[in-house]
């Protein structure tokens, strides 16, 4: 029956903790804020949050491009950390680099490097949205050629490598230019899809969602009420057309590029969000582009290139009612080795515990640490201070081990708004008091003469335990029972005596008995007394039995 209570609670709580399955989750299975924006530079992240998380919104989306020559871990971790603080969900489109023909053709060999880089980042949410390149039905986007079979081959390799690193990668295809005609430099989207399927008839089952560039054509100035492939409802045509090739009709849709140029932008966006983009399968709409000050994309910019101020439709979109998205995040923590796993019977402690946030969320006052154990003094709840992923917080826990022996389980559960989100346990062994034996030699005096000896044990965390008036017999002192100490911990042991200078030894305290040799003590001479009373000083350090 030993530890029955804690073990039962551990099993019960374990059933309540959501399993940390490493696989993408349906973004529409939780409250989702579909509002988003496409950005050019990570410096625009705060402005993006002002737009997409306004009017009740949280956790809107941001589409951004990362090139091969930009794979700087520190840079993008800072960007992801900022998006976490701003409660934004990144959609990362990966890209190669430019040459005279446009964007270089992606190399299959680079798939491993991309997977390692992207897997090395701590993303803001469990789902890691990655778009594999851009509009390959344009020759300028694929090394100067149009090669649907190459694209299918490359994206399968990239998808496989990403998922080998983590099943949390939510793989999305490149959005195609739905208005492109067949010609020397472009291919009709329907033909491109057809040729991809002919090369790999399972290619459209590869993706976790669908990327659409549903622009209002012709000339990016089409009516918001228009339908069909080249309208803002182009995603509907793609979904219907590709269902014959295996794309599920309930595939989550990500409209990562769209937007008007010209006039009536506020009215167009209002109608689009109310009607065309209210489809229940749409996860995110990220119009192109928040802030672009030069040609050729300044005409799409939501920030006026002349004044540097937001355009009218920015404020209009800000006013749209939004919802508080609640994307799934990985919740996880570790307990540092400072928490003692061996304690002494009938002792008291002020134990220091370091809790490290190793998950994706930022701990706030919503989070509490619950502790349950067969050590009664450890049953408690502790509020947590703010901690971002990678940060540690220190907690001081009073522990009493009175009447407790043996191995006792301690269960630590991280609770968010009263719900267990992560849990760990440690086993603490309560052992009988160990002993400390020390040897010491004194100048002149007999080894068993007592000089008010005090032993102080000071731990690395500055907690100290004192033992005073210890008898020394034949040069050996003994403390039969050490209480309030932690076996296995490093202590600085200090011997103090009224007539001798202190001696110190650093020891690792053993579970049963620790032995120390302090060597020979050095007398404390009062030089005034030596000068005026040399004989009395000498006799003070001579043996009393000559």
Q: What is the phi/psi pair of residue 264, to 5°? A: 60, 30
% of residues, the chain, pLDDT over 90: 79
pLDDT at residue 449, as a whole number: 53
Q: What is the DSSP letter of 225?
A: T
pLDDT mean over 127-156: 98
CATH number of 333-431: 2.60.40.10
pLDDT mean over 450-471: 79
Q: In which element (H, E) is residue 98 found?
A: strand 98-99
Spell out the residues 6+ positions from residue 527 whose beta carbon is closer than 8 angstroms to its own: none
User: Sorting pLDDT into bands at 50, 70 and 90, what band is 530?
Assistant: very low
* Residues belonging to the chain: 546
pLDDT at residue 16, as a whole number: 47
Closest by CA to 190, choosing from 219, 224, 198, 225, is 198
CA distance 317 to 313: 6
Across the chain, mean pLDDT equals 91
Residue 23: pLDDT over 90? no
CA distance 352 to 335: 11
Q: What value does the CA radius of gyration of the chain take, rounded to a whole number of Å?
A: 35
User: Sorting pLDDT into bands at 50, 70 and 90, what band is 471?
Assistant: confident
Least confident piece of the model among 69-83, 158-172, 207-221, 446-460: 446-460
pLDDT at residue 2, as a whole number: 44
SS3 assignment, position 74:
helix
Which of the pair, 529 or 196, is modelled with greater confidence? 196
User: Sorting pLDDT into bands at 50, 70 and 90, what band is 434?
Assistant: very high
Where in the chain are the domains?
Answer: 21-319, 333-431, 435-541
pLDDT mean over 74-79: 98
Spell out the residues 6+ positions from residue 181 whose beta carbon is closer than 8 angstroms to its own: 188
CA distance 278 to 291: 25
Q: What is the DSSP letter of 70?
A: G
pLDDT mean over 412-428: 95
pLDDT at residue 39, as a whole number: 98
* Cβ atoms of residues 512 and 414 within 8 Å: no
User: Sorting pLDDT into bands at 50, 70 and 90, what band is 337?
Assistant: confident
Q: What is the pLDDT of residues 202-260, one digit of tens each?
A: 999 999 999 999 999 999 999 999 999 999 999 999 999 999 999 999 999 999 999 99
Least confident piece of the model among 323-337, 413-427, 447-461: 447-461
Give the CATH class of 21-319. alpha beta
pLDDT at residue 468, as a whole number: 85
pLDDT mean over 260-278: 96
Which of the pair, 95 or 475, is modelled with greater confidence? 95
Q: Do domains 21-319 and 333-431 have the same CATH topology?
A: no
CA distance 337 to 436: 24
pLDDT at residue 523, as a whole number: 82
Pick the CATH number of 435-541 from 3.40.50.1820, 3.30.1300.10, 3.40.630.30, 2.60.40.1120: 2.60.40.1120
Q: Is 395 left (phi over 0), alpha (psi -120 to 50) or beta?
A: beta
User: Sorting pLDDT into bands at 50, 70 and 90, what band is 435?
Assistant: very high
Least confident piece of the model among 298-302, 435-439, 474-478: 474-478
Joined together, the tokens standing for residue 153 give 């081959």
Q: C-alpha distances in angstroms, 267 versus 105, 264, 276?
A: 39, 5, 13
CA distance 134 to 213: 10
* Cβ atoms of residues 268 and 285 within 8 Å: no
% of residues, the chain, pLDDT over 70: 90
**Strands 406-416 vs 419-431: parallel, antiparallel or unpaired:** antiparallel
pLDDT at residue 308, as a whole number: 92
């Amino acid at each position: 029956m030993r530890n029955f209570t804690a073990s039962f609670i551990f099993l019960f709580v374990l059933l309540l903790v959501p399993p940390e399955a490493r696989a993408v989750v349906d973004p529409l299975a939780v409250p989702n804020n579909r509002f988003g924006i496409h950005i050019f530079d990570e410096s625009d992240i705060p402005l993006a949050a002002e737009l997409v998380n306004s009017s009740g919104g949280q956790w809107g989306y941001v589409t951004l491009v990362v090139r091969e020559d930009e794979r700087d871990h520190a840079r993008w971790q800072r960007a992801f950390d900022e998006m976490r603080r701003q409660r934004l969900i990144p959609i990362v489109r990966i890209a190669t680099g430019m040459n005279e023909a446009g964007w270089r053709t992606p190399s299959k060999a680079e798939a491993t490097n991309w997977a390692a880089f992207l897997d090395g980042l701590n993303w803001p949410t469990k789902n890691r949205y990655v778009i594999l390149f851009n509009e390959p039905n344009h020759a300028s986007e694929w090394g100067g050629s149009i090669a649907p079979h190459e694209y299918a081959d490359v994206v399968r390799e990239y998808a496989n490598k990403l998922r080998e690193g983590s099943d949390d990668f939510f793989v999305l295809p490149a959005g195609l230019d739905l208005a492109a005609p067949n010609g020397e430099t472009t291919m009709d989207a329907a033909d491109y899809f057809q040729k991809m399927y002919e090369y790999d008839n399972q290619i459209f089952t590869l993706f976790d969602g669908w990327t659409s560039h549903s622009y209002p054509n012709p000339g990016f100035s089409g009516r918001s009420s228009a339908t069909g492939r080249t309208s803002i409802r182009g995603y509907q045509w793609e979904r219907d057309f590709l269902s014959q090739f295996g794309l599920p009709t309930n595939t989550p849709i990500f409209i990562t590029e769209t937007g008007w140029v010209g006039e009536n932008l506020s009215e167009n966006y209002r109608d689009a969000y109310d009607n065309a983009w209210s489809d229940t399968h749409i996860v995110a709409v990220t119009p192109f582009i928040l802030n672009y000050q030069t040609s050729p994309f300044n005409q799409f910019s939501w920030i006026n290139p002349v004044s540097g101020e937001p355009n009218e439709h920015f404020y209009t979109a800000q006013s749209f009612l939004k919802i508080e998205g609640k994307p799934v995040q990985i919740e996880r923590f570790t307990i540092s080795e400072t928490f003692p796993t061996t304690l002494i019977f009938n002792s008291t402690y002020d134990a220091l515990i370091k809790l490290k946030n190793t998950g994706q969320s930022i701990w706030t006052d919503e989070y509490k640490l619950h502790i349950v154990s067969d050590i009664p003094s450890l049953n408690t709840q502790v509020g947590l201070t703010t901690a971002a992923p990678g940060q540690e917080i220190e907690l001081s826990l009073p522990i009493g081990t009175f009447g407790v022996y043996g191995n006792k389980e301690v269960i630590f559960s991280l609770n968010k708004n009263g719900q267990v989100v992560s849990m760990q346990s440690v086993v603490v062994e309560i052992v009988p008091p160990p002993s400390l034996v020390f040897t010491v030699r004194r100048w002149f005096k007999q080894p068993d003469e007592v000089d008010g000896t005090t032993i102080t044990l000071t731990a690395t965390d500055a907690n100290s335990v004192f033992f005073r008036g210890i008898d020394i017999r034949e040069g050996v002192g003994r403390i039969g029972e050490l209480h309030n100490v932690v076996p296995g911990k490093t202590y600085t042991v200090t011997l103090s005596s009224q007539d001798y200078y202190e001696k110190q030894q650093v020891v690792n305290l053993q579970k049963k008995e620790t032995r120390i040799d302090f060597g020979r003590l050095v007398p404390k001479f009062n030089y005034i007394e030596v000068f005026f009373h040399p004989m009395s000083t000498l006799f003070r350090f001579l043996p009393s039995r000559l």
